[in-house]
């Protein structure tokens, strides 16, 4: 009788732990991404100065690159350097020197990265800032 009770209690504990774990994962209780990041957003990010900067496919022109803000930041399986962009608030938009990322970004270069990805998906805003880019959008 004691042996059967032990198995019953063990099975009940396993079920409870399984339910709590499933609820925790689905609710984001346990490590489901980085704190403070909106999980509805996706994409490649560079972390600089405690902020997440979403990487765009826009290559920043050398003429508008400002001071070096950071070097050798961890990025995927390599590192990235970050520079200010003239006329842009570095808390929102900077340039990161990144390796080739996709067919839209097939070469290494200074990519525009921003804490506000919506700002740089607004085509009117992109056109208004065309002077920042190597190739005008």
Write out pLDDT tens, residues 7-29: 665 555 555 655 445 444 344 44
Separation between Cα atoms, residue 113 and residue 33, nearest integer Å: 20
- pTM of the predicted structure, to 2 decimals: 0.67
Distance of CA 66 to the CA centre of its chain: 22
Per-residue pLDDT, 101: 85
Separation between Cα atoms, residue 118 and residue 22, nearest integer Å: 32
The encoded tokens of residue 107 equal 């070469």
The encoded tokens of residue 81 equal 């350097």
- Over 80: is that where the pLDDT of 112 sits? yes
């Amino acid at each position: 009788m004691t042996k059967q009770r032990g198995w019953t209690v063990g099975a009940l504990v396993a079920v409870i732990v399984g339910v709590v774990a499933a609820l925790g994962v689905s609710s984001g209780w346990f490590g489901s991404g980085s704190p403070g990041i909106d999980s509805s957003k996706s994409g490649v990010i560079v972390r600089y100065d405690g902020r997440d900067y979403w990487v765009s496919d826009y290559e920043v022109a050398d003429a508008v690159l400002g001071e070096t803000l950071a070097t050798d930041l961890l990025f995927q399986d390599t590192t990235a350097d970050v520079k200010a962009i003239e006329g842009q608030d570095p808390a929102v938009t900077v340039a990161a020197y990144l390796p080739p990322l996709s067919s839209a970004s097939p070469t290494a270069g200074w990519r525009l990265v921003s804490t506000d990805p919506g700002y740089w998906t607004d085509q009117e805003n992109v056109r208004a800032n065309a002077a920042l880019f190597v190739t005008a959008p």
